[in-house]
Amino acid sequence: MKTIEELEYQKNELVSKIQELETMRRGTISEQYLKVPRKNKEASLRGPYYVFAKNLNGKTVSSRINSFEELELLKQDVENYKRFNDLSKEFVSVMEAITDIKRSGSTTDSKKNGKSTKKNTIAK
């Protein structure tokens, strides 16, 4: 089990990593091809065309990516959002561990004095 100092250090590291993220976007990038019919021949595929899609107020909104530079920037933004989510989940876990230690420590200290500060709570 980690000490409170180790967990506090880990928490500060996670905050620092989150602060390093400069840009991010929620959404996905998909690769699409256009099937073009040809007279007396098999249809050919044109593409790839890249599309950025995101959910906005319950609806999917998508837009075509017009350049390779824009594609690379969007890929980085989407990756940063995924990184942010991973760091956020880890942050919550660390904070829960810190809370557990702090709560168990305060309850233990009060029991030594013969008093209990623990309150009955009902989960909703």
Q: Are 53 and 47 a contacting pair, CB within 8 Å?
A: no
pLDDT of 9 reads 97
Mention every residue, 6+ apart, whose C-beta is less than 8 A from residue 53: 27, 28, 29, 30, 60, 61, 62
Cα 2 to Cα 11: distance, rounded to the nearest angstrom: 12
Cα 108 to Cα 100: distance, rounded to the nearest angstrom: 12
Measured on CA atoms in the order 85, 88, 93, 96, is the torsion positive or negative?
A: negative
pLDDT of 25 reads 97
C-alpha to C-alpha distances, 2 to 5, 41, 90, 98, nearest whole angstrom: 8, 68, 15, 9
Q: For the segment 47-62, what is each residue's pLDDT rounded down to a tens digit? A: 999 999 999 999 999 9
pLDDT of 106 reads 54
pLDDT of 109 reads 43
Cα 48 to Cα 71: distance, rounded to the nearest angstrom: 12
The segments of the chain whose pLDDT lies below 50 read 107-124
pLDDT of 118 reads 46
pLDDT of 70 reads 97
| Beta-bridge mates of residue 60 | 55
